[in-house]
């Protein structure tokens, strides 16, 4: 029988565990430690180093080391190590390769199968890229499991007979998740998940750093952000400060010779009290409230019906977190699970269920939900970009749902089914998953011919979409398969993407700042002849600007605006 | 031919707890891991059964015949979208094709009743076929009520409500019937039981229950009995608090608005209790902005009272001054102005808009919409006529919803009431192009894509 391990691939730390002989066991790495820092680097001999060794070279050669890669997964960003650019997937694969090596060593067999956990609030692309990283590292990824669900599984296995509502609050290094579950008769039912992929311990560190940088600039007129070395030191000290303040009331940050001012080295010396710190990060803590509200209302369970609040993730060690939860929900969290191990333990339990080591008719059974709504783009009340939800968020999976739609104008014989994931009522602002065509609809008056669209979403994250002409039974299908890139959603090509972002720039929250210049440019464009040389230039700048606005990238938009204004001014003279 | 209850192996009169136990024990046998298709079936049955139990809905077995199943599916979609009118002909056909199918018969009866055509015959047949079925009896009772057969309605309803009733459709027909007969005693008994016991899972059901909870307050007011009034107010408060997270963003605002409307239903001597309840609701919310909105509803109730006392001119004057002098009164003042004068005076509205915009963005939005509507109604009509002549196949009824495009037709004509500050908002309707674009362009925008539409409403 194949051995399947569970891996918690974290933003800051990574752990692995195995279920054997009826218990869960944490796997030790080559340094004989359970916790591996999620750091990857190249040492001075040009060899890859991972974990503690990479972490320890971070200060000396930050340019050869990468941390917090997980926050970048699912994006196009590249991470530079030793002057070469890597994708987040490549670097995550290095980390997982290390896990595979040490797990094989620890277990004395070649380990090739794993359950990997991800934040519940990861979207399909982020999940897909995590699988890709696993595959690159030589794993067959048996399942992607939501982190809070995993934590609950590890709790559930030890409390099989409980009947309770549990809220799992997972604040890690880079992500925040909250999940509401019900334990009943040996079944663990996830009722709702929500979260914030861009909120974690890292942001608390950065809050401290930003305040230090601001003070330093005020005092010495030097911007520390420009100096990579100083920033790395600052980051280390900020994290140390944060952790110390979890136990003590104040912390002195002392970094000698952090930068040169007027040729002389200057030190940074400040004392931060817990009160200062808590005031500084209050807005971050408040960002956890919205996801909490979402899971409560999606699951229809009021705060007073919660029996237990479980804390997971290193950042929940900050005392203000427990205090905030108690103030917000009227119930104190408890420390029922180990905040560092629970997720990987749960992943190992899921691995055992898949491997058949835990019989569902005797042992624990678990059901999970899909964290984002899935649906199609359709026309509603004249809006051609309406997002019509077919499988709503927080529905138990596997699930199949059907909705009925109509043709939109007389004689329409084909439709385009665009599939999206997300919560915006504007389809194109959600996450695009794929599209296909259904043709041979009998020509008829509008809204006579109906089309049934069925979504089937299974545990492996495979979404099958079928569109059927009700009157003839003619259908078309698309499978969006996260485990297999070839059949995966088509990634829209550059041009198409630009077009999409271009058209909805007005919906962007930052659009107001640029309306004037856009209008001005369009006025001038109209004045110009078709074959005017400047025409193309203005048009392309204008489109880039709109795209930047649509992407809410204010920096980029500001740059483009400057360029555009320069150009316009030269023309208006 | 299994109902959701049969799939789960429980009786249709099971409790929620029993249902849950049955579901979870089935999940252990057919886990999503091992047996996903069986799991999906169980899950769907569980969801249907919980809802049916909670909302007290009838349950029908689904047919084995694929053709019949297809028709059942269509009915399901129509019910979800409440698209009865469009669906009615097809339902008629379903009934002809499958006369034995009680699902079709039941819904046909409902729809006929809604159209006030004689549905009694079908209902009676259903009751005869299945005399144990409470829901058929409810349907028949509602038919009697719509038909005005009060005696029969009363006898049947008395039987139905014996064991308690939670079906809101029935109650929404029955409560007004009782009101018409001044039987507040009975309304109170039924609704008090319903509201004080209820814990909701389902937002749609909740909003219907909320309406009934307010009827309970009305009944208690009419009964003019202190102890029962206290009990009713307590039940309402508990009900709101228990279901707060399902009631939406600003739960109390809507409830208070509805309750103010109810005041006029109560006979003049008994209104005080409703007013008191309204004031009490003010303290329920923790949210400051919501509280402010609720307070403004309560205030306007106060103003209503002045109006009822026929001190109109005095009132109008106070109010007009109030919104210039006292910011707390702005929204009410404007609202009352509109009501008292019978018109919205544009100058007055304009005068207080800057303050409103800052202090009461929601209200401000409404005024802007209103002003906008005044300036474009004519244009909308004109365009509609124009479009109709050009595109005959297109259904006229659709135009009001597509108003947005009308604005796009007149991008550079700025209504005269609009100040510079507004330009951004107006811009939303404005398009990239400064020129009027043509009718063809509009049509392209409406029909040009290969898109598809949602179910028509
Ligand atoms: N005592 C402490 N006080 C405050 N923060 C702490 C403490 N110990 C650890 N942390 C923080 O916890 C974070 C790491 O937590 P954890 O290992 O659970 O995250 P992760 O699993 O790597 O990240 P994620 O789950 O977001 O991907 C770091 O930001 C670290 O600074
Ligand atoms: Mg974690």
Whole-complex ipTM: 0.78
Encoded tokens for B232: 């009713």
CA distances to A225, A240, A317 from A253, in Å: 17, 9, 20
Q: Are A74 and A153 in a shared domain?
A: yes
Contact A296 B245 (CB under 8 A): yes
Residues of A with CB below 8 A from B456's CB?
A: 406, 447
Nearest CB neighbour to A187, from listed B24, B202, B434 = B24
Is a pLDDT exceeding 60 seen at residue A171?
A: yes
Q: Are B315 and B304 in a shared domain?
A: no
Q: Are B248 and B320 in a shared domain?
A: no
Contact A379 B395 (CB under 8 A): no
Q: Of B249, B277, B308, which residue is a domain's last?
A: B308
Expressed in angstroms, the distance from the first to the final Cα of chain A is 79
Q: Of A369, A384, A406, which residue is a domain's last?
A: A369
| Atom in ligand 1 nearest the alpha carbon of residue A312 | 18
Lowest mean pLDDT of A160-174, A280-294, A470-484, B390-404, name the range.
B390-404
Q: Are B248 and B304 in a shared domain?
A: yes
Q: Are B440 and B355 in a shared domain?
A: yes
- Residue whose pair of structure tokens reads 């309402």 in the numeric block: B236
Q: Of B267, B287, B308, which residue is a domain's last?
A: B308
Look up residue A226 and give its DSSP letter.
Answer: G
Q: What is the pLDDT of residue A531?
A: 66
Computed over its alpha carbons, how large is the radius of gyration of chain B? 27
Which of A10, A12, A242 most suits a substitution to test ligand 1, by most atoms within 8 Å of the C-beta? A12
In this prediction, residue B385 has a pLDDT band, given cuts at 50, 70 and 90, of low
Is a pLDDT exceeding 70 seen at residue B297?
A: yes
| Atom in ligand 1 nearest the alpha carbon of residue A12 | 22
- The mean pLDDT of B183-187, rounded to a whole number, is 95
Confirm or reject contact between A178 and chain B (CB < 8 A): no
Q: Is the CB of A70 under 6 A from ligand 1?
A: yes
Q: Are A382 and A399 in a shared domain?
A: yes
Encoded tokens for B382: 């004109």
Q: Are A292 and A365 in a shared domain?
A: yes
Q: Are A257 and A352 in a shared domain?
A: no
In this prediction, residue B354 has a pLDDT band, given cuts at 50, 70 and 90, of low
Scanning B176-205 for CB atoms below 8 A from A yields 200-202
Is a pLDDT exceeding 50 seen at residue B404?
A: no
Q: What is the pLDDT of residue B318?
A: 42
Ligand 1 center–CA A202 separation, angstroms:
8
Residues of B with CB below 8 A from A458's CB?
A: 36
Is a pLDDT exceeding 80 seen at residue A50?
A: yes
Q: Are B432 and B411 in a shared domain?
A: yes
List CB contacts of A91: < 8 A, sequence separation 6 or more.
Answer: A40, A66, A69, A79, A81
**H/E element holding A372?**
none
In this prediction, residue B371 has a pLDDT band, given cuts at 50, 70 and 90, of very low
Contact A297 B446 (CB under 8 A): no
Is a pLDDT exceeding 60 seen at residue B322?
A: no
Q: Are B347 and B260 in a shared domain?
A: no
Q: How far apart are CA B33 and CA A18, in angstroms?
A: 19
Contact A384 B245 (CB under 8 A): no
Q: How far apart are CA A426 and CA A449, in angstroms?
A: 25
Nearest CB neighbour to B36, from listed A293, A412, A459 = A459
Q: Are B208 and B276 in a shared domain?
A: yes
Ligand 1 center–CA A243 separation, angstroms:
9
CA distances to A61, A133, A224, A262, B299 from A259, in Å: 17, 38, 7, 10, 62
Q: How far apart are CA B347 and CA B342, in angstroms?
A: 15
> What is the residue range of B228's domain?
186-308
> CA angle, corner A47, sides to A45 and A49, nearest 5?
120
Is a pLDDT exceeding 80 seen at residue A463?
A: yes
Which residue's CA lies nearest to atom 21 of ligand 1? A10
In this prediction, residue B80 has a pLDDT band, given cuts at 50, 70 and 90, of confident
Look up residue B145 and give its DSSP letter.
Answer: H
Q: Are A185 and A322 in a shared domain?
A: yes
> What's the total number of domains in chain A?
4
Task: Give A291 to chain B, closest Cα distance, Å.
Answer: 13
Q: What φ, ψ does residue A461 adopt, rounded to 5°? A: 80, 25
| Atom in ligand 1 nearest the alpha carbon of residue A174 | 26
| Atom in ligand 1 nearest the alpha carbon of residue A343 | 21
Q: Is the CB of A175 under 6 A from ligand 1?
A: yes
Q: How far apart are CA B404 and CA B431, in angstroms?
A: 11
Overall pTM > 0.90: no
CB-based burial, A529-568: b 16+ in 10 Å, e otherwise? eeeeeeeeebeebbbbbbbbbbeeebeebeebbeebeebb
Which of A37, A116, A130, A173 most suits a substitution to test ligand 1, by most atoms within 8 Å of the C-beta? A173
Q: How far apart are CA B340 and CA B316, in angstroms?
A: 7
Catalytic site residues of A?
8, 70, 147, 170
Q: Of A283, A304, A334, which residue is a domain's last?
A: A283
> What is the residue range of A542's domain?
493-573
> What's the total number of domains in chain B?
2
Q: Which comes out higher in pLDDT, residue B246 or B127?
A: B127
pLDDT in tens, B43-73: 999 999 999 999 999 999 988 899 999 899 9
Contact B25 A185 (CB under 8 A): yes
- The mean pLDDT of B186-206, rounded to a whole number, is 87
CA distances to A53, A243, B54 from B23, in Å: 51, 45, 16
Local structure of A365: helix, strand or coil: strand
Lowest mean pLDDT of A143-147, A328-332, B321-325, B398-402, name the range.
B398-402
Ligand 1 center–CA A115 separation, angstroms:
21
In this prediction, residue B299 has a pLDDT band, given cuts at 50, 70 and 90, of low
Q: What is the pLDDT of residue A547?
A: 78
Q: What is the pLDDT of residue A565?
A: 79
Is a pLDDT exceeding 70 seen at residue A222?
A: yes
CB-based burial, B130-163: b 16+ in 10 Å, e otherwise? eeebbbbbbbbbbbbbbeeeeeebbebbeebbee
Domain presence at residue B127? no
Are the C-beta atoms of residues A354 and B33 closer than 8 Å to each other? yes
Contact B77 A404 (CB under 8 A): yes
- The mean pLDDT of B189-201, rounded to a whole number, is 86
Is a pLDDT exceeding 90 seen at residue A400?
A: yes
């Amino acid at each position: 029988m194949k051995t399947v391990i569970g891996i918690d691939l974290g933003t800051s730390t990574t752990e692995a565990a195995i279920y054997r002989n009826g218990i869960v066991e944490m796997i030790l790495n080559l340094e004989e430690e359970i916790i591996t820092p999620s750091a990857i680097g190249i040492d001075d001999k040009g060899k890859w180093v991972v974990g503690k060794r990479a972490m320890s070279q971070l200060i000396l050669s930050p340019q050869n080391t990468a941390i917090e890669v997980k926050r970048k997964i699912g994006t196009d960003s590249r991470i530079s190590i030793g002057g070469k650019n890597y994708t987040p997937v490549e670097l995550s694969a290095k980390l997982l390769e290390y896990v595979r090596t040490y797990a094989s060593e620890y277990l004395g067999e070649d380990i090739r199968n794993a359950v990997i956990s991800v934040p519940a609030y990861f979207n399909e692309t982020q999940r897909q890229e995590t699988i890709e990283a696993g595959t690159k590292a030589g794993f067959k990824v048996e399942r992607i499991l939501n982190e809070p669900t995993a934590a609950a599984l590890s709790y559930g296995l030890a409390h099989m007979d409980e009947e309770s509502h549990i809220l799992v609050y997972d604040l890690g290094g880079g992500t925040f998740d909250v999940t509401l579950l019900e334990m009943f008769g040996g079944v663990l039912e996830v009722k709702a998940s929500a979260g914030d992929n861009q909120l974690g311990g890292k942001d608390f560190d950065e809050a401290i750093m930003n305040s230090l940088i601001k003070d330093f600039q005020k005092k010495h007129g030097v911007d520390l952000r420009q100096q990579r070395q100083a920033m790395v030191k600052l980051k280390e000290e900020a994290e140390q400060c944060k952790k110390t303040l979890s136990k003590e009331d104040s912390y002195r940050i002392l970094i000698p010779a952090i930068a040169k001012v007027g040729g002389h080295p200057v030190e940074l010396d400040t004392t931060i009290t817990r009160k200062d710190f808590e005031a500084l990060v209050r807005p971050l803590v408040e960002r956890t409230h919205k996801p909490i509200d979402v899971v409560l209302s999606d699951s229809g369970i009021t705060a007073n019906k919660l029996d237990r609040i479980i804390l997971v993730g290193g950042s929940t060690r900050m005392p203000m977190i427990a205090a905030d939860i108690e103030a917000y929900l009227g119930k104190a969290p408890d420390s029922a699970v180990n905040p560092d191990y629970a997720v990987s333990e749960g992943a190992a339990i899921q691995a055992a269920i898949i491997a058949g080591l835990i019989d569902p008719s005797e042992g624990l059974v678990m059901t999970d939900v899909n964290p984002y709504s899935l649906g199609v783009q359709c026309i509603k009340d004249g809006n051609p970009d309406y997002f019509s939800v077919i499988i709503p968020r927080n529905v138990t999976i596997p699930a199949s749902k059907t909705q009925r739609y109509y043709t939109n104008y007389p004689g329409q014989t084909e439709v385009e089914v665009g599939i999206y994931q997300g919560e915006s009522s504007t389809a194109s602002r959600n996450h695009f998953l794929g599209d296909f065509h259904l043709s041979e609809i009998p020509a008829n008056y509008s809204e006579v011919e109906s089309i049934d669209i069925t979504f089937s979403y299974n545990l492996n994250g495979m979404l099958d979409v079928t569109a059927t002409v009700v009157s003839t039974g003619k259908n078309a299908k698309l499978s969006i398969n996260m485990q297999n890139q070839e059949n995966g959603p088509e990634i829209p090509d550059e041009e198409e993407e630009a077009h999409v972002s271009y058209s909805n720039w007005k919906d962007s929250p930052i659009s107001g700042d640029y309306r004037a210049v856009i209008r001005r440019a369009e006025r001038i464009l109209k004045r110009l002849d078709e074959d005017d040389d400047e025409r193309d230039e203005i048009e392309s700048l204008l489109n880039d600007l709109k795209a930047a606005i649509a992407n809410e990238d204010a920096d980029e938009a500001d740059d483009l605006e400057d360029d555009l204004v320069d150009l316009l001014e030269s023309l208006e003279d | 031919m299994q109902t959701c209850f049969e799939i789960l192996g429980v009786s249709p009169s099971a409790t929620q707890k029993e249902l849950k136990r049955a579901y979870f024990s089935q999940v252990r046998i057919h886990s999503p891991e091992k047996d996903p298709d069986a799991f999906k079936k169980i899950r769907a049955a569980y969801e249907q059964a919980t809802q049916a139990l909670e909302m007290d809905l009838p349950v029908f077995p689904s047919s084995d015949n694929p053709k019949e199943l297809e028709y059942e599916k269509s009915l399901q979609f129509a019910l979800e979208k409440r698209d009865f009118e469009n669906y009615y002909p097809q339902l008629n056909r379903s009934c002809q094709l499958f006369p034995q199918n009680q699902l079709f018969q039941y819904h046909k009866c409902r729809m006929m009743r809604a159209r006030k055509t004689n549905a009694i015959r079908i209902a009676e047949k259903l009751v005869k076929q299945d005399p144990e079925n409470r829901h058929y009896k409810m349907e028949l009772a509602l038919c009697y009520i719509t038909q005005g057969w009060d005696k029969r309605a009363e006898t049947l309803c008395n039987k139905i409500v014996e064991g308690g009733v939670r079906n809101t459709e029935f109650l929404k027909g029955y409560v007004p019937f009782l009101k018409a007969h001044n039987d507040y005693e009975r309304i109170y008994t039924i609704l008090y039981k319903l509201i004080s016991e209820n814990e909701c899972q389902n937002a749609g059901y909740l909003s219907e229950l909320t309406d009934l909870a307010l009827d309970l307050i009305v009944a208690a007011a009419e009964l003019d009995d202190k102890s029962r009034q206290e009990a009713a107010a307590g039940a309402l408060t508990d009900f709101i608090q228990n279901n707060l997270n399902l009631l939406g963003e600003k739960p109390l605002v809507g409830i208070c608005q509805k309750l103010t409307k109810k005041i006029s239903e109560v006979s003049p001597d008994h209104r005080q209790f409703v007013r008191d309840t309204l004031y009490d609701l003010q303290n329920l919310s923790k949210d400051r902005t919501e509280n402010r909105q609720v307070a403004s509803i309560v205030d306007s109730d106060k103003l209503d009272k002045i109006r009822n006392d026929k001190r109109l001119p005095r009132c109008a004057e106070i109010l007009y001054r109030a919104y210039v002098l006292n910011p707390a009164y702005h929204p009410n003042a404007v609202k009352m102005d509109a009501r008292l004068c019978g018109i919205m005076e544009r100058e007055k509205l304009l005068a207080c808009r800057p303050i409103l915009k800052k202090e009461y963005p929601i209200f401000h939005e409404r005024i802007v919409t209103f002003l906008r509507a005044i300036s474009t109604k004519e244009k909308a009509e004109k365009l509609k006529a124009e479009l109709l002549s050009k595109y005959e196949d297109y259904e006229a009824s659709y135009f009001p919803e597509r108003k947005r495009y009308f604005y796009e037709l007149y991008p550079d004509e700025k209504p005269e009431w609009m100040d510079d500050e507004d330009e951004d908002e107006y811009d939303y309707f404005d398009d990239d192009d400064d020129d009027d674009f043509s009718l063809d362009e509009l049509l392209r925008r409406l029909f040009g894509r290969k898109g598809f539409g949602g179910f028509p409403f």
